[in-house]
Structure 1
Amino acid sequence: MRTLRRRELLLAGAGFAVAALFGRTARAADASGPLTLYNGQHPETTNAIVEAFSRETGIEVAIRRGSSAQLANQMVEEGAASPADVFYSEESAPLATLAKRGLLTAASAETLKQIPANYAAGDGAWIGVSARCRVVAYNQDMIQVSALPTTVTDFAKPEWSGRVGFVPTSGEFQAQTLAIVKLKGREAALDWLKGLRDNGRVYNGNVAAVQGVQRGEIATALVNNYYWFRVAEELGEERMRCQLHYMGHKDAGALLTLSGAAAMRSSKRPEAAQKFLAFLVSEKGQQALVEAVAEYPVRPGVQSPYALKPIDELDPPDVTPEDIADADLARDLRREAGLA
């Protein structure tokens, strides 16, 4: 397990990306000016990739930051006048929204060949860059793994009152809700949300939820796998009372989701935008990514330095990115359940 010092070095690398907004890289800058990246992904992940891309190509990258949903809404409003060349999203749903609006340009055939077909939109409008899975974080001093439910929907039952944390505003929680819709129907998903409202504890972020489990203020929490590694990197893995349980069995609790990227139809630098997409799924791009975050690479053959459960052992549900792309339905269900 790497130390906090490594994360500090990665964050220090943010200066490279920020400097690209105002000046030159060490190599000759592209004469057409910087590539504009709308970034909804975690800063340390994007900074590592952008630094590697600019070092490899000499192309500067100007980063505009925000949540993935906020940036997608902004690009819808901007339309053809958007200055964005590429959108890098933490979740796939905002990418699907832009695709439906006809605002994306398909990735090149050569880029799409670099990753499995199920890690990209069916029409190639966007590509997956990394994968992550939903897990149950649990405090091993408070509960035995054998006592955990076999399906995520059971966490909404009264017997879990005061024992489960969740983050209703998380994009991946919303994707999990839509997975339940796909697998069990709308009413089952609504009942789940209402049960969590009545029996669960709301956290304002996944890191906070993992920290809550670690401190013993809650027995379990529904989160993404990589947040555990962020907390463990700061505290030291040997101090972690919080552990991860992978539900498997094709349950919605084992949902596998994608972070992804797309070239914008509005791009004034379409060739550079396609180069960036190609780099994201190249061996060098994927290696830069897995060094920065405990997510799964989408390119075969790239190994993460983190101790991730092998992706072929996760046994996620048979849910496609399109099945969990309806952000409006997820928001409607959350509001109807009183979790807005």
Structure 2
Amino acid sequence: MRRPLIRRLTALCAAATLLATAAACGNPEDDAGLVIYSGRNENLVKPLLEDMEKAIGTTIAVRYGDSAEMAAQIQEEGDKTKAGLFFSQDAGALGALSTKGLLKKLPESSLDKVDPSFRGGAGDWVGTSGRVRVLAYHPGQVSKVPDSVHDLTKPEWKGKVGYVPTNASFQAFVTGMRVLEGDDATRAWLKGLKANEPKVYENNLKVLDAVGEGEVALGLVNHYYWYEQVAEKGEDKVGAKIHFLPGGDPGSLVNAAGVGILKSSDQTAAAQKAVDFLLSEKAQKYFADDTKEYPLAAGVTSTVKDLPALESLDAPKIDLGKLESLQETLKMLQDVGMV
């Protein structure tokens, strides 16, 4: 059994143990007006969810974890799930629940706030914020930045690329490449990249630091990591620069975090208020200003300096709901020896 699967099984077992302990001690989820399963990082969204609790006038209990693991747990729990709302880090996990018919159709008043490309085709989930894949590069080592991830398999980049193969955003990007270019082409690219001896890092921030320090020349990351670092340190202290890939390249995938209401839940009213809060001006400005993501609700634009407008990005045209085939992506990454 490979490591990622072991980690997922371990996490699910730990969650089961936690639930058993909570049942014996009294579970706050039992008393909450709304239970949220969140694939978004607690440090990132906890302040926003605290504001949500005040705004919707309902006690909230939040269970945090990996988005794919949360989606798998909801499927396993079925009608017995305590979740009323699923807040996912990426569209793929929402697409997986939609495919299984586990999400409730949202009202048009909520869906209409967001462009159709960032909501489910069945109208049962909606994006709350967006992020784009970019190439980080060291300006002293790179005279011409590649315009495609396909260029990263060329000999000149051998040992000079940093990435996080276990990261959910990287895996969503690979899933996007599978949807856009097919499994055979994606597998061939992965094999070519691995043969070029990329350097593996623990997370995207470490990749960005490695590029900034000249340890590698290029790095595969999400855009907001760079903008967060610039806001914290100043651009001259970051070292790395970023490049938005043109031409609809799969390496420029725009993915969305989003929410869906569980069809079997009796918390629909509170969950709907939560959806509308996340699409409100206050929440959208939080995503824009605090997390440096793209706000997706109409009427709110990012004020982050030098961040290209979302509509100006030359991103690939893709149904984000089709990113749900994560297990197939994981198997492919295991087969080529990346995870």
Q: Which TM-score band applies after superposition, normalised by the shorter structure?
A: 0.7 to 0.9
Identical aligned pairs, as a percentage?
Answer: 33
> Which residue of the partner structure matches residue 47 of structure 2?
48
In the alignment, the residues of structure 1 paired with residue 199 and residue 140 of structure 2 have an alpha-carbon distance, to the nearest angstrom, of 19
In the alignment, the residues of structure 1 paired with residue 310 and residue 240 of structure 2 have an alpha-carbon distance, to the nearest angstrom, of 21
Q: Deviations over 1:230-269 (max 9, x none)?
A: 3333433331210110112111121111111111123231
Q: Is the 8 A contact 1:114 1:282 kept in 2?
A: no
What amino acid sits opposite 2:260 in the alignment? A
Of residues 194-203 and 117-126 in structure 1, the stretch that sits farther from structure 2 once superposed is 194-203
Mapped pair 1:155 → 2:152: yes
Q: Is the 8 A contact 2:95 2:322 kept in 1?
A: no
In the alignment, the residues of structure 1 paired with residue 138 and residue 335 of structure 2 have an alpha-carbon distance, to the nearest angstrom, of 31
Distance 1:35 1:143, change over 3 A: same
- Return 5+ residue gaps in structure 1 as ranges: 1-20, 24-31
- Cα RMSD over matched residues? 1.9
> Which residue of the partner structure matches residue 226 of structure 2?
228
What amino acid sits opposite 1:159 in the alignment? E
Of residues 320-329 and 239-248 in structure 1, the stretch that sits farther from structure 2 once superposed is 320-329
Normalization by structure 2: what TM-score? 0.86
- The Cα of 1:22 is off from its aligned counterpart by 6.2
> Which residue of the partner structure matches residue 206 of structure 2?
208
What amino acid sits opposite 1:336 in the alignment? D
**Pairing of 1:1-340 with structure 2 (within 5 A):** 33-144=32-143, 147-199=144-196, 200-307=198-305, 308-340=307-339
In the alignment, the residues of structure 2 paired with residue 212 and residue 281 of structure 1 have an alpha-carbon distance, to the nearest angstrom, of 35
Of residues 193-202 and 49-58 in structure 1, the stretch that sits farther from structure 2 once superposed is 49-58
Q: Is the 8 A contact 2:84 2:262 kept in 1?
A: yes
In the alignment, the residues of structure 2 paired with residue 247 and residue 289 of structure 1 have an alpha-carbon distance, to the nearest angstrom, of 23
Of residues 296-305 and 230-239 in structure 1, the stretch that sits farther from structure 2 once superposed is 230-239
What amino acid sits opposite 1:101 in the alignment? K
Q: Is the 8 A contact 1:137 1:223 kept in 2?
A: yes
In the alignment, the residues of structure 1 paired with residue 245 and residue 238 of structure 2 have an alpha-carbon distance, to the nearest angstrom, of 20
1:102 partner SS: coil
Q: Is the 8 A contact 1:44 1:292 kept in 2?
A: no
In the alignment, the residues of structure 2 paired with residue 35 and residue 46 of structure 1 have an alpha-carbon distance, to the nearest angstrom, of 16
In the alignment, the residues of structure 1 paired with residue 287 and residue 58 of structure 2 have an alpha-carbon distance, to the nearest angstrom, of 18
In the alignment, the residues of structure 1 paired with residue 121 and residue 332 of structure 2 have an alpha-carbon distance, to the nearest angstrom, of 26
Q: Deviations over 1:93-112 (max 9, x none)?
A: 11111112222112222111
- The Cα of 1:327 is off from its aligned counterpart by 0.9
- Return 5+ residue gaps in structure 2 as ranges: 1-26
2:130 partner SS: strand
2:146 partner SS: coil
In the alignment, the residues of structure 2 paired with residue 60 and residue 141 of structure 1 have an alpha-carbon distance, to the nearest angstrom, of 52
In the alignment, the residues of structure 2 paired with residue 109 and residue 269 of structure 1 have an alpha-carbon distance, to the nearest angstrom, of 19
In the alignment, the residues of structure 1 paired with residue 181 and residue 81 of structure 2 have an alpha-carbon distance, to the nearest angstrom, of 39
1:207 partner SS: helix
What amino acid sits opposite 2:188 in the alignment? D
Q: Is the 8 A contact 1:39 1:89 kept in 2?
A: yes
Q: Is the 8 A contact 1:83 1:266 kept in 2?
A: no
- The Cα of 1:180 is off from its aligned counterpart by 2.2
1:136 partner SS: strand
1:104 partner SS: coil
